[in-house]
Structure 1
Amino acid sequence: MLAYPLLIINVLLVLLNTAVNSIFICLVAIVKLFLPTAKLKRAATRMADKSMWLWATVNTGILAMSNRVEWDIDGLDALKKDGWYLMISNHLSWTDIVVLCSVFKDRVPMPKFFLKQQLLYVPFVGMACWALDMPFMRRYSREYLLRHPEKRGQDLETTRRSCEKFKYNPTTVVNYVEGTRFTPMKRKSSRSPYQHLLQPKTGGIAYTLAAMGDQFENIIDVTLAYPDNLDKPFRDMLMGRMKRIVVKVNVLPVDEQVTGDYFNDKPYKRQFNQWLHQVWERKDETLKRIHKD
């Protein structure tokens, strides 16, 4: 019976933490609008990043007080706080965001997520993400480009301009390559060849690398698992039932396998697809070993 009052308390504390930091970031955004120089705007972004770090730290503390988690973390030694990284990960639950922020908040720069252009106009959310310098993408469909060929390449150019500011502040950009959270039903319906993963979607990560691949020092390949809380890990964490969290990190080079013209060079596109599927095969083998233990 204790788990349900704990669930309510944790939800309220997390919501309060999120509200306080979101309001502060929005206030930073308002100030940032009126700052006269790029240098001052970058300073405002760093202040917003510190608030995001505080949000992650408080969430970690809230959930640590109610869970006795056995952490199994490996592969963090090669990372640095002032680097530029692309982080790719499998996606299981809302828990992933809490775990990634908890594990990496003092190891790499606070993460940035590529967002759809429409989110910029959502009250509070859009302003907070803008203050954090999260890049907004405008993706045109193939059908739209057939009707408007003059727009071809503009979405990529817009993203490149949005990422220009990352040259001045160390940055971690996160990409959930599967595009959605894994479930056995999704795996079956999508006919995924992997036991613990969905098919990777190459377009999103290729788009990120095309926009700012020359800025990344490494790719951080993260494998997440909650082997004792498979069904509802986020609910279990809020109820104090999370038992074990596994985070395996593999730092990959940014080399000729991942740098090229994915959208116009067909041989490179095939090479990139093969590279990503090899990464996913290794990740699936890692997950098989974790769940076998």
Structure 2
Amino acid sequence: MNRIFGPVRGLLLVALVCVHTLFFGAFIFAIMPLKFVTRGRWRSGVVQAMEWIAHRCWCTFNGWILRHLVPTRWTIRGTENLRRDRSYLLIANHLSWNDLFAMMVSFTDQVPPYKIFIKQQLIWLPIVGQVVWAIDFPFMKRYTREQIAADPSLVGRDVETTRRMFARYGDRQVTIFNFVEGTRRTPAKHAAQQSPYKHLLKPRAGGVSYAIRAIGSKLDAVLDVTFFYVNGPWTTWDLFCGRVPEIIVEARELQAPPALASGDYSGDLGTRKAAQRWIATIWEEKDALIEQLEQQTRVPR
């Protein structure tokens, strides 16, 4: 019976997510033109209104759907002391699109609006690209080694771009979200990297270091998050069909080494080594946690 009802549930939930995305997106598009004709506090107020729709409406409703309309059990630990009046840098492992939905379920009601580092090319993605631009997500342009060799001034440009973006936030609290591995983990990518971690890809310390330096004194804590899918891996379609038995989200607050807030990752060897050691330690502990969860929860399908 579940084999029949599961796909029906999946189709209905996909349709529901699409409908409410268009619904809330329409409100954001209606407000968006005001961003071009306002300045100062008025412009900030316009952006905050769009943030509220995206975060407190769209993300919250996604979380409600997954908590109440799928049978997946949610085990969320370490979020008791989170506050919406603090700014966080949220770093996490990356397995699939399910990670974004797990983030919405776990943190939306407890942290300030999300800001996710986005590749510059995604600004052209219909609807989504324009919405994340409207609510001031930081867009990043990646430069190849050849481009940097031809134009050394490109070094650090992402940091300056991010700093200018954060200056727009003023005193507003935000949650910066960063997948430290830079891409979703798959067995093929894991093998190609020859990763030293059993369950993770190699972390990219540079991105975290740039984010911490750009945020500066506005950063209250680093939120280290581990996503784990019992008996996984699972696709988002599996999640919507109700096939995922349990999702475990482990969070802990950390303080970044002071050197990362002021040091230059690109130009200072000491800062680079400090960032790499810090992230490597976090990743070793995360890998051990995932192995522990794997041993505790693995059951035959």
Give the aligned partner of residue 188 of structure 1.
Answer: 191
Q: Between the two proteins, what is the percent identity of the paired residues?
A: 34
Counterpart contact for 1:113–1:174, Cα < 8 Å = yes
Query: Match for residue 299 of structure 2?
Result: none
Q: Return the alpha-carbon distance in structure 2 between the equivalents of residues 149 and 265 of structure 1.
A: 15
Give the length in aligned residue pairs. Answer: 291
TM superposition shift of 1:173: 0.4
Q: Is the 8 A contact 1:83 1:170 kept in 2?
A: yes
Root-mean-square deviation over aligned CA pairs:
1.7
Secondary structure of 2:184's match? Answer: coil
With normalisation by structure 2, the TM-score equals: 0.91
Aligned AA (2:108): K
Once the two structures are overlaid, the 10-residue window that deviates more, 144-153 or 45-54, is: 144-153
- 2:33 is aligned to 30
After alignment, is 281-290 or 118-127 more displaced?
A: 118-127
Amino acid at match of 1:142: R
1:80 lines up with 2:83 in the alignment:
yes
Match of 1:50 among 41, 49, 52: 52
Residue of 233, 239, 259 corresponding to 1:231: 233
Q: What is the CA–CA distance in structure 1 between the aligned matches of 2:168 and 2:187, rounded to whole Å? A: 40
* TM-score normalised by L of structure 1: 0.93
- Any conservation in 1 of the 2:87–2:218 contact (CA below 8 Å)? yes
Greater shift in the superposed pair: 162-171 or 190-199: 162-171
Partner of 2:210: 207
Describe the SS at the equivalent of 2:96. coil
Counterpart position of 2:16: 13
Task: Give the drift of 1:151.
Answer: 3.9
Structure 1 range deviating more: 208-217 or 74-83 = 208-217
Matches within 5 A, 1:238-253: 238-253=240-255
Q: Deviations over 1:225-276 (max 9, x none)?
A: 0113x13242221102222111111100133253322111102211210110
Evaluate the alpha carbon distance shift between residue 183 and residue 155 of structure 1 in structure 2; reply closer, same or farther with a 3 A threshold.
closer
Name the CA distance, whole Å, in 1 between partners of 2:248 and 2:200.
16
5 Å matches for 1:112-131? 112-131=115-134
User: Unaligned 5+ residue runs, structure 1?
Assistant: none
Contact 2:72 2:242 in 1 (8 A): no
Equivalent position of 1:173 in the other structure: 176
Match of 1:100 in 2: 103
**Corresponding residue SS for 2:46:** helix
Aligned residues of 1:89 and 1:223 also touching (Cα < 8 A) = yes
Greater CA drift, 2-11 or 257-266: 257-266
Closer, same or farther: CA 177–218 of 1 in aligned 2, 3 Å: same
- Supply the distance in 2 between the matched residues of 1:153 and 1:183 (Cα, whole angstroms): 30
